[in-house]
Structures are given as structure tokens and as C-alpha cells.
Amino acid sequence: MSKPIVYGPRYSTYTRAVIMALLEKRVDHAVVHVDMDEQEHKAPEHLARHPFGLLPAFQHGDFAIYETVPILNYIDDAFPGVRLAPADILRRTRAAQIMSVINSYGYRPMVWGIFVPRTFPQPGKPVDEKAIAEAVPKARQALQAIEDLMLNPDPFLVGRQISLADLLLVPIIHYFAGTPEGAKILPHYPKLMAWHTIIQSRPSVLETVPKVLSGVE
């Protein structure tokens, strides 16, 4: 079958998680850039891949998927290599629960509520400090939940092996950690801090650092 294609920009946290899964499994793949600034994700060509106009979308042969969690599960099941879903039912369930917390409660306050307005202030407009301040307790609540759900003393979120939950979370924490709010809040979650320190040296993480973080254009 032809190699899988990821549609999305490498700076998108969800797209990055999918690319990291492919790297972890050593799957040869292609990435087709879909630019958010240019609104390419709302163009008919992309809406045909993802009716909600979000990123990423994924194609393997004639099988197309949108929504990151099923894409990650498909990659794990369809390709050989390291298993990214824990075999143990409790660990697998905790990983699924953490992914749900990330999607439902963590992504929006950390990325859109704090990282985006801090990193890309609108020219000529003051930063909406009130909106950022409102996102902070939401981010804290999600981080506390993830910290509580982590299974210690293992280095990754739910065990000794990296899991789909780690891949979904790392791009978000990577962005958030670079904001003043993240730098202040994250030290309150020692397990997450230790996890972030360890996972940052993972090849799949290093290979996918977005230009916005690496400073390379």
C-alpha cells in the first residue's frame, strides 16, 4: 500500500502528535502542509478531507481518517513496530482518559487561551490579559487532572513505554512551557515536570520541534 499522508502544518500540536506516532513506529510517510494562516484548512480541498475544517487529516491508500485520536489508534494498529497503546487494560484506560482530558479541558486553555495570544500578539492591539487570566485556572485544572492520572513511578504518563497519551500531550506542554504562565504554573506539577524533562530528549520529539520553538525559519 502507498505510504500514509498527514495533512497539516508541523506547528499544529495535533499534527505533530500524529507525525511523532509515525516516527515512533518508523513508518515512512509524507506530510502535506496545510496552512492555517492562509485559511487553507477551511478551503474546499481540505473540507473534503475534514468536514469540520481542522487539522490534521490522514490518508492511507484509499482509507481516510480525521480526528487525531482515531488517527493515532489506526497508526498503532496498522503498522508494525513498538506498541503505543499499553497492553495492560488499566494503563490503556488511563491513557485514553488522559487523552480525553487533554482534548476536552487542556488543549484550548493552554494553546489558544495562553500560548497563541502570548506568542503572536495582534499588531497594534493590546494583549487581552483578562482572557489569558481566565484561561489560567482552566489550564491548572487540566494539568492537575493529568498529574493525578499519571501512573508512577514510571517515566512516561502511564508506564515505562511511551504511549499515545504522551504523544498527544507533549506538543501542547512544549508550547505552554515557553509562556510566562506555563513557566510559573508547571513547577506545581512535579510528575509532569519530570516527564517533560525526560521526553524532551526523545528523537521523535526533537525531530518535530516546530520552527516557532526552534527559532529556525
Ligand X SMILES: N[C@@H](CCC(=O)N[C@@H](CS)C(=O)NCC(=O)O)C(=O)O
Site of interaction with ligand X (CB under 6 A): 12-14, 36, 41, 54-55, 67-68, 103
Q: Shortest approach of ligand X to residue 58 CB, angstroms?
A: 10
Q: Shortest approach of ligand X to residue 152 CB, angstroms?
A: 27
Minimum CB distance to ligand X smaller for 35 or for 155:
35
Q: Shortest approach of ligand X to residue 90 CB, angstroms?
A: 24
Minimum CB distance to ligand X smaller for 52 or for 123:
52
Q: Shortest approach of ligand X to residue 104 CB, angstroms?
A: 10
Q: Shortest approach of ligand X to residue 55 CB, angstroms?
A: 4
Minimum CB distance to ligand X smaller for 75 or for 151:
75
Minimum CB distance to ligand X smaller for 5 or for 194:
5
DSSP letters, the chain, are: -PPPEEES-TTSHHHHHHHHHHHHTT---EEE---TTTTGGGSHHHHTT-TT--S-EEEETTEEEESHHHHHHHHHHHS-SS--S-SSHHHHHHHHHHHHHIIIIIHIIIIIIIIHHHHSPPTTS---HHHHHHHHHHHHHHHHHHHHH--TTSSSSSSSS--HHHHHHHHHHHHHHTSHHHHHHGGG-HHHHHHHHHHTTSHHHHTT--HHHH---
Minimum CB distance to ligand X smaller for 36 or for 145:
36
